[in-house]
Amino acid sequence: MSHAQPGTAGIALVTGAAGGMGSHIARRLHADGHRVVLADLALDAAEQIAAELSADGSTARAVLLDVAHRDNFVAALEDCRSTWGAPTIVVNNAARTQAADLMTLAEDEFTTVLSTNVNSIFFGCQVFGAAMADQGYGRIVNMASLAGQNGGTATGAHYATSKGAILTATKVFARELAGSGVTVNAIAPGPHDLPVVKATVAPDRLGAVIASIPVGRLGSASFVADMVALLTSSDAFFVTGACWDVNGGLYVR
């Protein structure tokens, strides 16, 4: 199969792009010259960021995407194809983050977090990965988490479990798609300076969490966006099935 190499500008779709880490990633990819599709359930917020990036909508646009269901990824792909074409870059970032007590965690809470976080990665890789394989080129980055590596600290067991599954799914799809010019990698952030961290960790515990980080501070979302940019570059063809850690020394391997 011929491995098509796009120019410097590609078509990037970022899930959960309406805020937090996803918005940093979308802004960075747009700054690198890619046309960016900001996918999120919070469509108004995604549209606002898209308008900031591209007033006429020529290089940034928003789409509604509930990542818990495969059919929604199929619809998002068709939406992309009808406008700019199939994405060359997909960042599966959307996730539900919740704290919960392990021994009293209810089934519906568990299922909601798992179906959102794991389905989003699995079907994002399956649907968009197949489209990328057909065109002979693609870059997929899945946002995992330190919680999926160490069992979690401030987050719930359902969240940690889902992020562990993401690491496995990344390897599965990396192996499947490698021969088609498509790479699939993961990034596993620890606690970062983002609203979701401050919403998950009680204010009276945040100081202790920061003190427990060997480097003594929360991570920078803009640096994670830099990592995404590197993993999604055309030169990143030799990195696939990998997990890049960014956790301030909390987990060393």
- Say if 4 falls within a structural domain: no
Residue range 62-118, pLDDT digits in tens:
999 999 999 999 999 999 999 999 999 999 999 987 778 888 889 999 999 999 999
pLDDT in tens, 134-185: 999 999 999 999 999 998 876 788 999 999 999 999 999 999 999 999 999 9
* Domain annotation covers residue 250: no
- CA dihedral (242, 247, 249, 251) positive or negative: negative
Residues in Cβ contact with 218 at an 8 Å cutoff, skipping those fewer than 6 apart: 191, 192, 193, 197, 210, 248
Pick the range with the lowest mean pLDDT from 4-13, 49-58, 176-185, 234-243.
4-13
What distance lies between CA 134 and its chain's CA centroid?
22
Dihedral, CA atoms, 246, 125, 75, 119, nearest 10 degrees?
A: -70
The CATH number of residue 210's host domain is: 3.40.50.720
Percent of the chain at pLDDT exceeding 70: 96
- Which residues belong to the active site? 159
Report yes or no on 220 lying in a domain: yes
Residue 5 inside a domain? The answer is: no
In a domain, 170, yes or no: yes
Q: For residue 139, give its domain range.
A: 11-245
**60, 38 in Cβ contact below 8 A?**
yes
Q: Is residue 251 part of a domain?
A: no
Which SS3 state, helix, strand or coil, does residue 122 take?
helix
Higher-confidence position of 201 and 146: 146
Confirm whether 253 is domain-assigned.
Answer: no
Where residue 220 falls (left for φ over 0; alpha for ψ -120 to 50; beta otherwise) is beta
pTM of the model: 0.94
**238 alpha carbon, distance to own chain's centre:** 20
Q: Rounding to the nearest 10 degrees, give the CA dihedral for residues 245, 95, 74, 237.
A: -10
